[in-house]
A and B are shown apart, each in its own frame.
Chain A
């Protein structure tokens, strides 16, 4: 359902962040994109989320080349994704519930339906009792869970996450992991960029390893379940 063919991404300053990257990801797969800092993980995430366009090559999602999508079609594409950003992009002047309501308002849901879904999403990440909480009172792990709630509130079939456990302690990271696993189990496709080794040790059926913009043979990095 996601096919990358000969993807290149060169930033205006001339840095080649991705070089000839090709891969295929099937529906319902859980895939990790790993690599050192600066390897191009975030760049790939941004291409998948149509925040950046590839310099060349094609990136097909459900048969649509999202690199060539018109600007007016991009918002509708994003609604089908759940995006979890490295810097979370939460709104700190709104409470937890309002943050989760935002994508639903954008999608044009009725107030009742939006509230129902937002609360269900908060429940999934264990934050239902914090819906009125100011974001400043949430811990790092709670903020990350809130970001996940916002990402999944529109019931996306694809969940993209960029460094979702970086800066989290072991317990919080384990919680996030558990939440992702639950989504994987109900058939959501998960693509997670991380350089956090804890992930790879815990569960990793498939890894795409980037090294200075190039995809390495992923077989050598395959870690079978213990």
Chain B
């Protein structure tokens, strides 16, 4: 067991030395790996923030139920009863008179309204759903529009729904991008290891001749891939951290302009650890493939 650990420590030291032996190419690799990991994660972070922005904007989720012009107070009572039974959240009745009074407050409109022979506005209900998930709001709107004497249901959160669709598509695209970049990371490591194996062909041959097992020969290369990927993940975190730090203040100002309550959330510990772990795994995997392919070629 002790010997086993010692062999692994030796391989890790060897990998460290390999990294330090060519600092320039190590830095270049870290930049490539870091960028490949940072881009999709940064994208996901932006989407995540947009989603929370959508959830945090005040009074976005509103459903307005406009009744037909001919509907009387009995019809309104019927809707009220249905709302009371359905419990969709907070709701409030806006009578046609109340609506007219409010509209009269708007400058320039009052004269026009005065000249009208009768109130053109319908009675309405304004519902603030308790469940603000876009699908839930959509469902509610559908139910409302099937009720009697409802002329029109207006979803004030249309843009939220569109945003949601956009976020879904964006997320899918980012996952595809992440897959692509993950593949690139594997290829980068594969090639780095290929060059190392070529440069160390004689060492590998001699090691085999004096009794090295395949595991002994593979280990330092796989540790190298693992270590490089791990550091790449940390570097990616650094990139995202600096990026979000630079962006957070102007973004906060922008959001404040729209009256939204929103805190930009950047990287948390799990994301950093996750990136480092994914980087380490992909690096290890690239090295594993490279060693498997190239050692086989060497016979």
Q: Interface residues, chain A, CB within 8 Å of chain B?
A: 49, 51, 72, 75-76, 78-79, 83, 85, 89-91, 102-103, 105-108, 110, 150, 154
Would A102 and B210 be within 8 Å (CB), given that A89-B205, A91-B202 are in contact? yes
Asked if B87 is at the interface of the complex by the 8 Å CB criterion, the answer is no
* Contacts beyond the supplied A106-B207, A154-B211: 13 A-B pairs with Cβ under 8 Å: A49-B209, A51-B209, A78-B210, A89-B205, A89-B206, A90-B206, A91-B203, A102-B206, A103-B210, A106-B213, A106-B216, A107-B211, A150-B210
Verify A89–B209 contact, CB threshold 8 A: yes
Contacts of A105 in B (CB 8 A): 10
Question: What's the nearest-Cβ distance from chain B to residue A89, in Å?
Answer: 5
Asked if B136 is at the interface of the complex by the 8 Å CB criterion, the answer is no
Would A75 and B10 be within 8 Å (CB), given that A89-B205, A91-B203, A106-B216 are in contact? no
Name which residue of chain B comes closest to A81, CB basis: B211
Asked if B86 is at the interface of the complex by the 8 Å CB criterion, the answer is no
Verify B203–A85 contact, CB threshold 8 A: no
Contacts of A79 in B (CB 8 A): 210-211
Question: What's the nearest-Cβ distance from chain B to residue A38, in Å?
Answer: 23
Contact of A83 among B3, B6, B10, B210 (CB under 8 A): B210
Contacts of A76 in B (CB 8 A): 211, 213
Name which residue of chain A comes closest to B3, CB basis: A108
Q: Mark B195-219, 1 if CB is under 8 A from A, else 0.
A: 0000000110111111111101000
Which of B3, B202, B206, B208 has the most C-beta atoms of chain A within 10 angstroms of its own C-beta? B206
Q: Pull 14 A–B residue pairs with CB atoms less than 8 Å apart, ordered by A.
A: A49-B209, A72-B214, A76-B211, A76-B213, A79-B210, A90-B206, A91-B202, A102-B206, A102-B210, A106-B210, A106-B211, A106-B216, A108-B3, A150-B210
CA distance A75 to B209 in the complex (A): 8
Verify B212–A75 contact, CB threshold 8 A: yes
Name which residue of chain A comes closest to B213, CB basis: A75
CA distance A78 to B206 in the complex (A): 12
CA distance A79 to B4 in the complex (A): 17
CA distance A92 to B216 in the complex (A): 21
Question: What's the nearest-Cβ distance from chain B to residue A195, in Å?
Answer: 22
Verify B209–A85 contact, CB threshold 8 A: yes
Contact of A103 among B203, B211, B214 (CB under 8 A): B211
Verify B6–A108 contact, CB threshold 8 A: yes
Question: What's the nearest-Cβ distance from chain A to residue B13, in Å?
Answer: 11
Contacts of B242 in A (CB 8 A): none
Q: Mark B1-24, 1 if CB is under 8 A from A, else 0.
A: 001101100100000000000000
Contacts of A49 in B (CB 8 A): 209
Name which residue of chain A comes closest to B203, CB basis: A91
CA distance A113 to B202 in the complex (A): 26
CA distance A110 to B9 in the complex (A): 12
Question: What's the nearest-Cβ distance from chain B to residue A113, in Å?
Answer: 11
Contacts of A89 in B (CB 8 A): 202, 205-206, 209
Contacts of B10 in A (CB 8 A): 105
Name which residue of chain A comes closest to B206, CB basis: A89
Name which residue of chain B comes closest to A85, CB basis: B209
CA distance A106 to B220 in the complex (A): 12
CA distance A91 to B211 in the complex (A): 15
Contacts of A91 in B (CB 8 A): 202-203, 206
Verify B208–A75 contact, CB threshold 8 A: yes
Verify A75–B211 contact, CB threshold 8 A: yes
CA distance A108 to B211 in the complex (A): 11
CA distance A42 to B190 in the complex (A): 36
Question: What's the nearest-Cβ distance from chain B to residue A103, in Å?
Answer: 4
Contacts of B205 in A (CB 8 A): 89
Name which residue of chain B comes closest to A102, CB basis: B210
CA distance A49 to B213 in the complex (A): 15
**8 A Cβ contacts from B223-278 to A:** none
Name which residue of chain B comes closest to A108, CB basis: B3
CA distance A102 to B202 in the complex (A): 13
CA distance A106 to B214 in the complex (A): 11
Question: What's the nearest-Cβ distance from chain A to residue B183, in Å?
Answer: 31
Name which residue of chain A comes closest to B212, CB basis: A106
